[in-house]
Structure 1
């Protein structure tokens, strides 16, 4: 089994220091987390930035500042921005974020863009033109069906073939389980897929995904704060290190 890339998602859009004192909010916290997670085995980082009040933001200036600082601090990490709406941003604002930031890599929810389907071709065309690598977010089978429809109609370009499957849910809270991936696998044929999972079975879900051919495993405080033992993780880096060690043991 080829070793998948471990991507760390250190904070997400909604959690704060009250949820975990080591959850990174400001840029200095994020730089320290990125260094530690890369040392622990992460090859990529899923980036959320926050505003001055610590709330979710798609501000282009904050993204450019964070990307520049992270690239200088940990140049070996592949950096991916989120375009998540989090109930705050419209598809037009998500499109504007992509235009202004011009990231190398972005995660984009097909469900969220489908709120304004007339923008979809423009958005994916923009990403193709500015060479922004796209990772589509799929929360369930219906999202994967929509992605296949857009690919067949040319809305999504052939090279935009990456997808991340989300097991479980943030709200209403639902923990992911490894068996959730099984019915999705036929819909992942022809796609390069990643997996993330909410809740304490996060690690078990990711190891099952690796066995099924996932090439990116996303771990971190965005989705889960709890170790398989039921105790709180001390840090994002500990979650990365544990996943890497268990994968290596299983692959041996």
Structure 2
């Protein structure tokens, strides 16, 4: 069974690699914008920040120097758990994605399989997944396993059985639902994924859920109903409601915190999130 929780871990994913600054002016793409966003989101109830970065032209990048500067700035300015994306953009080579770990974040993402991603393919070969899992453990980085389809949960079961538990020995996954080519972003899918998590992952494993675009609200409510946690942010949606653009990432975090409070599982403080995920240092 999943651990019974009395509060809700809220992760904010403020930028992503898909939207452009020209199309979404509120998107934080500079380091100063990201740090300001992080502080606002922490105040609104977030305890984890899932980070993609941009270059001087606001294009997605995995530049190691920029990643190190970003981790340092977020640690200096906030108490948030810093989680770097190893997914990057769908065109990033594996060696660059592995090199992200050299920036020494608290956490990093590990996507558990290849998935069609709109018109593109988000490639995650088995050998790459194993290498990422092992390097994170060697560097004492806690993974968040990203799940785009239900088969990714059985792949994670295989990974843990063959290569052992991650650093911290707590298994936390994030259901990413509603990507064109992946599992749909609706309540019934959250139910199916939550049940599969119970069947295939170690006792005490936890999950967050992300609803892309119009899936944001149904996925949010279903995750809370199943005892899960939440990821929100402008990486995943740039609309607050139909024809209403998002003002800021903090606006999305505040809505998630309000929903969690209504579910009688208020936003989890950062210190409690570190204990849940077994993040040390």
**TM norm structure 1:** 0.89
1:109 corresponds in structure 2 to 111
Query: In structure 2, how many angstroms separate the alpha carbons of the residues matched to 1:26 and 1:230?
Result: 26
Residue 60 to residue 7, structure 1, CA distance change in 2 (3 Å):
same
Query: In structure 1, how many angstroms separate the alpha carbons of the residues matched to 2:188 and 2:134?
Result: 35
Aligned residues of 2:224 and 2:263 also touching (Cα < 8 A): no
Query: In structure 1, how many angstroms separate the alpha carbons of the residues matched to 2:67 and 2:147?
Result: 23
Q: How does 1:56-67 map to 2 (within 5 A)?
A: 56-67=60-71
Report SS of the residue matched to 2:83.
Answer: strand
Give the CA deviation at 1:119.
4.0
Q: How does 1:225-240 map to 2 (within 5 A)?
A: 225-228=238-241, 231-240=244-253
| 1:186 aligns to 2:195 (yes or no) | yes
1:164 corresponds in structure 2 to 174
| 1:241 aligns to 2:254 (yes or no) | yes
Q: Deviations over 1:100-129 (max 9, x none)?
A: 222221011122597443344333222112
| 1:132 aligns to 2:151 (yes or no) | no
1:90 corresponds in structure 2 to 93
Pairs aligned (count): 248
Query: In structure 2, how many angstroms separate the alpha carbons of the residues matched to 1:173 and 1:128?
Result: 28
Residue 187 to residue 77, structure 1, CA distance change in 2 (3 Å):
same
Residue 122 to residue 160, structure 1, CA distance change in 2 (3 Å):
farther
Gaps of 5+ in 2: 115-121, 266-281
Residue 61 to residue 124, structure 1, CA distance change in 2 (3 Å):
same
Query: In structure 2, how many angstroms separate the alpha carbons of the residues matched to 1:206 and 1:79?
Result: 22
Query: In structure 1, how many angstroms separate the alpha carbons of the residues matched to 2:155 and 2:249?
Result: 33
Aligned residues of 1:106 and 1:133 also touching (Cα < 8 A): yes
**TM norm structure 2:** 0.80
Q: Deviations over 1:86-108 (max 9, x none)?
A: 2222223222222x222221011
Query: In structure 2, how many angstroms separate the alpha carbons of the residues matched to 1:14 and 1:223?
Result: 9
Q: Which moved more, 1:172-181 or 1:198-207?
A: 172-181
Aligned residues of 2:52 and 2:85 also touching (Cα < 8 A): yes
Report SS of the residue matched to 2:91.
Answer: coil
Aligned residues of 2:149 and 2:183 also touching (Cα < 8 A): no
Q: Which moved more, 1:151-160 or 1:230-239?
A: 151-160
Query: In structure 2, how many angstroms separate the alpha carbons of the residues matched to 1:94 and 1:210?
Result: 31
| 1:211 aligns to 2:204 (yes or no) | no
Please provide the CA RMSD for this pair: 2.3
Q: Deviations over 1:140-161 (max 9, x none)?
A: 1111111111112126548251
Report SS of the residue matched to 1:37.
Answer: helix
Residue 116 to residue 168, structure 1, CA distance change in 2 (3 Å):
closer
Residue 129 to residue 244, structure 1, CA distance change in 2 (3 Å):
same
